[in-house]
Each structure stands twice: as structure tokens, then as C-alpha cells.
Amino acid sequence: MNKRLCYLLILFIPLFVKAEQKKEVDLPPLHHVVKVRPSSSIQVPKHYPLNDKKEIDCQTCHGIDDIEETPWKDVDKNAPDFFRDGPYSQLTDFCYGCHQKKSYERPNIHQLLDENGKYKEEDCEYCHDKAPDPEDQLNTSELTFRLPPEILCFGCHLKTPHLNALNHQVKPDNEMRKTMREAEKRLNIILPLDKDEKIMCVTCHSPHQIGLIDQNRPAGNQVADTDLDEGITYIEHPWNQVFQSDKETRLKQLAKSGNEVHTLSYQRIKTEVLLRASARDGTLCQSCHRFER
């Protein structure tokens, strides 16, 4: 939510300038630019009409008849078609109909392969000191990173991107270490620990898009039943509020009862990506935890 608002603010900054130049049009202050031909970076949906000069105009964005002739204060902004295909719960969803969402977001650094399965070394070097060869078999401790691997993810992700992420940044005891080593063999995966032998983000998550590293190798083996654009999704509606309250109930459940509930609470995952093993069916959790069955 905040993230989106932030983009919106950034997006609107140049409009201050444009609004000044477009004084002849009776438009509210900070209104979007009008009467310009879309550049190649803009994709106007086919059913949004352009004017006869092929420019974006009132009718392109607004489904209100004669909006030009109406004093802007009298226009019914709550009409569903005030914005084409509206109403929108987030104004940015309307913007992204024409503007490319990607260019306003943090780069999805996990998307490493292009259509031909090729990668750019500079993308690797966002994390690695020097791009390793995907064929190389290396231990996490042999690799050098621009930041220690346990904090690599924090620039773009929160320290607590989800329930339990922080609780998990601890050193597993010997018994759990044994369970982990067994799971690594049984599942043909890696569960790398940091230099202090603590759990880190990449203990559970693969940082790489599936297919970059041969999937038959432990470091390349991962769960991905969807693409990176969709990402990890949940059965519930992905709106933030719903998701937050979902976490609240999860927290309450965790506080109340024993271990089985934890696996239960993770069964609401719908699609998984960038995980070393499936959390949806409990495999990931059970590669460290031994739950009573």
C-alpha cells in the first residue's frame, strides 16, 4: 500500500511542470498530461479511444460524455466509468493499464533468464562479487558476495517479509542439524547456513529463478509451480488487509497450540516459487522440524 502510494507520488512530480505549460485547458491542478501522442513506452489499451490526432484525450481515460464542456468541479467522479474500466480500488491499477508497471518497481532480481534462457552477468553481480558459472558446484562459504549473504535480501525485502522469518534467524541445535542433513540428502536440496551457522533467507529460499542452475543439482532444485510474475500467492484474496488479518489469526493459532497447527496454517499457500521445498505440503518445515503425526 505504502509502496504504491510512494510510486504514485513519484509519478506525479513531473506533472507540476506539465500543468504549468497546459494552462489553456481547463483542468484541475496536477491533472495528467493530455493531448500528447503516446510514446513507445506507453501501451494504451485498444478500446481506449485516442483523438483524431492519435493523442490521448479526455475520452481516452474518462468514459464521461462531454467531459470537456463540463466545469471540472461538476463532473461526477464517482461514476463507474469516470476512469475507463473502473471503478478501481487502487488508482495505480488504472495507470498501469498504459504505463508499464515494471519500470516503476524495484527490479525483480530473481528474474535472471531471458526468453532464450540466457542471463546477463551484471544481474548476477547485483549479489555476487563476480558472476559464477552456473555449472560450477560451489559451497555457499566459497562464494563471495557484495554483502554478506545473510543480509543480501534486506535492501529490497523487509527483515520480516512474513511470519516467522525473523524467529528463524537462529542457530539450529544439533538434533535439528541432523534432521537437516538427512533432508538435504533425501530431497536432493541444500539448506545453507550463514557463517555463524544460523538460518538465513536463502536457507529456505533459492535466490535464483528456476532453471538457472541445473535442477538435478541440489543448489538448483527448488519448488516453482508458477512464474515470478505471479509469485507466492495465497488462497485468500491478495489484498493487504485480508492478508494481514490472516496473519493475525495465524499468530493467534500459533500462540494457542502445538506444532501441527503450523503446518496447517501453511496449507493456505496457493502458488509457490523460490522455495527449496514445498511449504504448502509441509516438506520444507519438516526438513528441519519433526512434527508429531
**Nearest-CB residue for ligand HEC:** 231
- Closest CA relative to residue 228, chosen from 280, 275, 158: 275
Q: Provide the minimum distance between the beta carbon of 157 and ligand HEC in the complex, in angstroms, as a whole number.
A: 4
Nearer to ligand HEC, 63 or 172 (CB): 172
Q: Provide the minimum distance between the beta carbon of 52 and ligand HEC in the complex, in angstroms, as a whole number.
A: 14
3-state DSSP assignment of residue 271: strand
Q: Provide the minimum distance between the beta carbon of 292 and ligand HEC in the complex, in angstroms, as a whole number.
A: 14
3-state DSSP assignment of residue 280: coil
Give 42's strand partners: 99
Q: Provide the minimum distance between the beta carbon of 293 and ligand HEC in the complex, in angstroms, as a whole number.
A: 15
Q: Provide the minimum distance between the beta carbon of 82 and ligand HEC in the complex, in angstroms, as a whole number.
A: 8
Q: How many residues are given for the chain?
A: 293
Cβ–Cβ under 8 Å, residues 199 and 170: yes
Calpha distance 61→223 (Å, rounded): 41
Separation of first and last alpha carbons in the chain: 39
Nearer to ligand HEC, 2 or 41 (CB): 41
DSSP per-residue codes, 82-131: GSTT---SSHHHHHTTTB-SGGGS---TT----TTS---HHHHTTTBSSP
Q: Provide the minimum distance between the beta carbon of 22 and ligand HEC in the complex, in angstroms, as a whole number.
A: 9
- Closest CA relative to residue 138, chosen from 96, 190, 98, 177: 190
Beta-carbon contacts of 179 under 8 Å, excluding residues fewer than 6 positions away, are 287, 288, 289, 290
